[in-house]
Every structure is written in structure tokens, then in C-alpha cells.
Structure 1
């Protein structure tokens, strides 16, 4: 199969759908290629107890408010999946799935998007594959010596899988705190972090985080002092399950161990702890392997961008990978503005 279109959007999660919304409003011919078999992006693979940091109305994509979830202030992942599926259907976005993009290459005046289902040729590409598909595991001595179970955030589902076990959770961000809180009641939990976790004030949620990211962007654009953005507020949003476990004294983080040993871990002072499982809540890296043929990656694996546009390939835009592709662009509420800007810039290029 070979097809032509003005724009190919790679990824059918929240960033890809936001891009599709704005491309449709601008009247462009486009297709969204999604590797998943069903709508919902990475949210359909999240752990059972995951909650958003913000109420539904503050977790919405452009054009359509997320409805509230009955009985919940902070919606769960399944509610987000249902919202994204409805969003895709409501705006009749042309999503093709399952289609896995293998590579993007230059082909004269076009970009050639090679997939496991054929090839598309486009005048512009918006890459919106996120980071869930590229979990990061730090290099820790002795990993091969540890014979019990190791898994990353992406593989965790429910505390029932670890009931009665000795579990070490590694990571001081939101995922680490939420999963540690999940496991705090029915396991022998050890939570370790590289530095002491910094909980945000209980009244701060995603609304305040988005406002902080926006204020930082405006300050930098206007040449004012860097406000520090989200990082200035803390590391962990105290959503209700985290707050409950913390207030009961069940979320006490210790220092990071220095190495793994058979049956457990060891700290620099020689002390040890046994473990039946280690859960690495150690973050992600941008899933950009499909763009490797373009040879654009530079410092820290990032592609140099101006806004969302790749500096060295102006037909390519990157959306939703983090602040380097738009302030808060990896969040539901934050991706709308950079998606709009990317779509407008693509439209301007196509009509030039």
C-alpha cells in the first residue's frame, strides 16, 4: 500500500488527537497513524489506581471538555481512555490502526513514512509518539545478580500482584509516589529516592502546575527572570491516595541503594535489604526511533526545535514530548496550544 496526503500524524494518543483536531479545523488533508489496536493511547496501559492530577474540566483537549467522572474529583485512567475514544469519534479524526511507523525518510520534496502496513508520502509530518513506549532503567551495579522480579512503571498493574511480598519502589516522582502509596498497605514496602521527595502543597494540582508552566513560558519569552515553573513548586502532587498514605506515615522514603545483590539491595554503608521485587519508577525517554533515518538527534537525544518545528527539517514537527516541544505539552491540558501552533505553521508552509 502506498498513499499520499498533506500531513501524516504519527501517534493516536492525546497529542496526536489534539494535532488532528487543529488540522481538521484548518481544512488540511491528513491521516493519523496509531500503533495501538484501540483508542486511548498510553492511558489504556496504565496501572489500575492511576489518577489524574487535575479535575476533569482541567484535563481537556481542545474543543471538548472532559466530562466529570461520577464520584471522583480526579478521574482514573479508564475515564481518560473513554474520553479520548469519544474525542476521536466526535471529530471524525482519520485514525488508521494498528499501523506501526518504522521510519521517516526524505524523498525529494516529500517525507516518506514507512510502516508495517505500507508507505505514506506527505509534505509534512507531526510526530506525537510520546515516551511511554521507551521506559528508562538506570545503570545500577549488580542488576544481573538480582534473581527476583524487576519491572518498570509500564509493567505495574495492581498491588494484589505483590501482596505479602518485600517490594522496593525506586523513584521520587509522581509515579513512584503513587505506586508506593498503592503498595503501602499489603506489602513490606521500601521506597527509595535519590533525594528526599518534595510533596506539593495539598491544594496544588494540575491546574496550578499548568499555570506555573505558562507563567514560566511567558517570562522567558518576555526576557524576564525565569520563574522556575513547575520545578519550583515540588516533585509530587498529593493526590488523595498519596495524601492518605503519607498522612498515615506509610510513605517514608529512604536513600537510594548503591547496588543490587542476590536477593536484595545494598547501600553504601554495607547495610542490606531483602526484596522479592523491585519496581523502577525511573521515568522515560522520548520515543523517537522512527525518526532515526533523518539523523536529527543531538544533545541528550533531543531533536533541536524552534517551537515544535525541527530546526534541521522544517517539514517535521514534534509534539507532546515535554517542555522542549511546548510548555506542559506532555499533559492533556497543555498539549492544546502547541498542537494549534504546529498545525498553523504546517498550514502556512503548505500554502506558501
Structure 2
């Protein structure tokens, strides 16, 4: 018998769990399908030194405050994984593992969710797969000719793996700054950025970023002038390890190189930097390949949304991919409100069709 649920949530990370919390409160029948074998979403795959940008109390999913981590103002990824595991258990969320969704299809009045372990039918779907599984690598001349090791943020774990080596870190965002700070002491580091690094004021953390993102969304929704949101404040949160490396003079960025060579990087003026490894901290794209059968992408690959709802498929909601699916919705603190809105819209849709 083909399994059915009123709502199928795709992804068991923070966005999927927040959706499950609100669906459960509304009494909606749902299931969460997660490709990971254990709870914790992408947090269980990050580099060892990664910490949140905010204290625990300001990094919580709806309904359950994250407990403080002893002796840590900003909790580490291991603490976040434990919190997500507890959250899932506390609210008895129906998460099925290990289930990889292959495609979502229209099937009359239902959506057909094909997976590597069977097919589900649902009256609505929430896609909450995030971006971690779709790393972005820029098209840089000579990238295929470089003779050393190349890896993306998702593959980096610890500085000891590169001790004594020549490493180029590419990227001027938080990941680039944090990994550069990680490597600054025991490697021959070259940090390159597209534009000069913009550090936020030392007293700004995730709380202020969430407030800025929310204020921008409210201004845009009200037709007022764009406040600029988080981008108006800077690009890099000065978490303690980044601050320490910066203040020690170890985080001096060079402009982006012109091309790669077999032995390293080269700039337009002929300057060269030899390298044993290049770490691309160049961001991510939404992991949405499972939605391809619905043919919702526009000319630039973007799925048009109204809030979290796909404009051309009202039975589909996208949650946790960034500001285009809710202010700061890719963060722990930010995903709660759009998850609530998505759950309410879906509940209303199901009620209307029952009626």
C-alpha cells in the first residue's frame, strides 16, 4: 500500500523540525523524510571549531529554548546537534530515516513524493532541504589545472589536517573568515576575498542580524525604502576566534586572484602564491533538485514564492533557504516564524479542500 500523509516535509534539519512543531500544534497529519541517518541536519557535518553567532537563548527553535552550553557563550555544533536531537524526541516528531527524496510530482489532487525507499502521496509538501548539500564553486580560470588539493567548506574539518602546509582560503563571508582564522596559526595562509573584508562591530551577533533581517522584510512588505538588512552592517561576525586572529594581524586579505596555476594562484600584476591546498568558502545554492519535476524554476533558476508558498504550486512551501523564504529563515532563531506561517497556510488549504 502506498503510504500517505496530509503533509510530507522533506528534510529533518532545523527547518523541517520547526515545520513539524507547528504542524503538530495545528493537528495536521504529517511525516518528515530525512536523508541523514541521525538527527542534527547539516550541523553534524560542519568543521570542528564552528560556533553559533548568538548565545543559546537566542538560537532556539519554537517552543523549546536551547540550554546554555557550559563555559561557552556561543554554543558549538556538537551542542546544536544534541539540542536538535532532544527537540525531535521531545515533540515526538515523526521523522523517517534514512529516506532520500528523488522527486516531487503532480499526481491529480495529490503530490507524489518518490524516494529511494518507496513513494508517498501527500496533499501538501514542505521542502526544507537547506543549502549545505549544494556547495557552489566559481568558474575560475585554471581551476582544473591546479595540482594540489581542492575542497569546499563542507569538506573542511580541522587545522591539523593542513599543519605546515601552504593554504589559500577563498571567500570573504563568515565561513571564509572562520576557516582562515582556524588556519592562521599553523599554516602558510593566503586569504583572498572578492572585496575587502567587512567585519561587523565586535558587539554585534546573531541577535542584531535577525533584527536587521526582520526590519528589512517589514520595510519591503510595507513599500518603504529598503533598509539593506544584514548586508548594510557588514559581512563577517567577529566571533572570538576571528576577532583574536584579526587583532593579532593574521587576517589580512588579498584581492581575488586572476587564475590558478598548477602550483598555486596568480594575480594580474604577476604576483604569485604557491599552495598545497585551496579551500573554497564560496557559499551554497538551495538544494532543490528534487523539485525539478514540478518545473517551477524561472529563467534564472529561481522558484517564485509568496512568503514560503510557491506561486505556481500552492501545495508546495519552501522553508529555510534564506530571506526569500522568510527573514533569516536559514537560521535557528529565524526559521520559527516562516515555519508557523507555512503550517497555517497549509492547514487552511487542507480545511478548504475538506470543506
TM-score, normalised by the number of residues in structure 2 = 0.98
Aligned to 1:341: 341
**3-state DSSP of counterpart to 1:12:** coil
Q: How does 1:183-194 map to 2 (within 5 A)?
A: 183-194=183-194
- Is 1:73 paired with 2:76? no
C-alpha distance after superposition, 1:224-249 (max 9, x if no partner): 21111101000000000000000000
Partner-residue secondary structure (3-state), 2:273? strand
- Pairs within 5 Å for 1:209-288: 209-288=209-288
Q: How far apart are the structure 2 equivalents of 1:300 and 1:332? A: 28
1:139-191 per-residue CA deviation (whole Å, 9 max, x = no partner) reads 00111210110000000000000000000000000000000000000000000
Structure 2 matches for 1:139-178, cutoff 5 A?
139-178=139-178
TM-score, length basis structure 1: 0.99
Structure 2, unaligned runs of 5 or more:
none
Q: SS at the partner of 2:283?
A: coil
Distance 1:245 1:51 in 2: 16
User: How far 1:218 moved relative to its partner?
Assistant: 1.4
What is the CA–CA distance in structure 2 between the aligned matches of 1:330 and 1:71, rounded to whole Å? 26
Deviation at 1:321, TM superposition (A): 0.5
Matching residue of 2:105: 105
Aligned partner of 1:23 in structure 2 is 23
Cα distance in 2, alignment partners of residues 321 and 299 from structure 1: 19
SS in structure 1 of the partner of residue 72 of structure 2: coil
* Shift of residue 300, structure 1, vs aligned partner: 3.2
CA distance in 1: counterparts of 2:138 and 2:119, whole angstroms: 36
Any idea what SS the aligned residue of 2:215 has?
helix
Distance in 1 between the 2:101 and 2:71 partners? 39
Corresponding residue number in structure 2 for 1:125: 125
Query: Does structure 1 residue 295 correspond to structure 2 residue 270?
Result: no
**How many angstroms does 1:222 deviate by?**
1.8
Post-superposition CA distance 1:66-98 (Å, at most 9, x none): 000000000000100000000000000000000
- The 3-state SS of whatever aligns with 2:249 is coil
1:37 matched residue in structure 2: 37
Distance of 1:299 and 1:80 partners within structure 2: 37
Unpaired runs of at least 5, structure 1: none
Q: Give the secondary-structure state (helix, strand or coil) at the position aligned to 1:2.
A: coil
Aligned equivalents of 2:103, 2:209: Cα separation in 1: 35
Moved more, 140-149 or 13-22: 140-149
Q: Residue 78 and residue 300 in structure 1: after superposition, are their counterparts in 2 closer, same or farther (change >3 A)?
A: farther
Counterpart of 1:323 in structure 2 is: 323
RMSD (CA atoms): 0.7
| Displacement of 1:299 | 4.2
Q: Distance in 1 between matches of 2:229 and 2:70?
A: 32
The structural deviation recorded for 1:24 is 0.1
Give the stretch that moved more between structures: 37-46 or 140-149: 140-149
Corresponding residue for residue 47 of structure 1: 47
Any idea what SS the aligned residue of 2:254 has? strand
User: Partners in 2 of 1:5 and 1:41 — Cα distance?
Assistant: 22
Q: Structure 1 residue 301: deviation in Å?
A: 1.9
In structure 2, the CA distance between the partners of 1:325 and 1:299, relative to structure 1 (3 Å rule), is farther
Partner of 1:180: 180
For the residue of structure 1 that corresponds to 2:186, the secondary structure is coil
CA distance in 2, matches of 1:202, 1:212: 16
For 1:301 and 1:42, the matched residues in 2 are separated by 23
Q: Following the alignment from structure 1 to structure 2, what is the Cα–Cα distance between the partners of residues 350 and 190? A: 55
Runs of 4+ in 1 over 6 A off after TM superposition: none
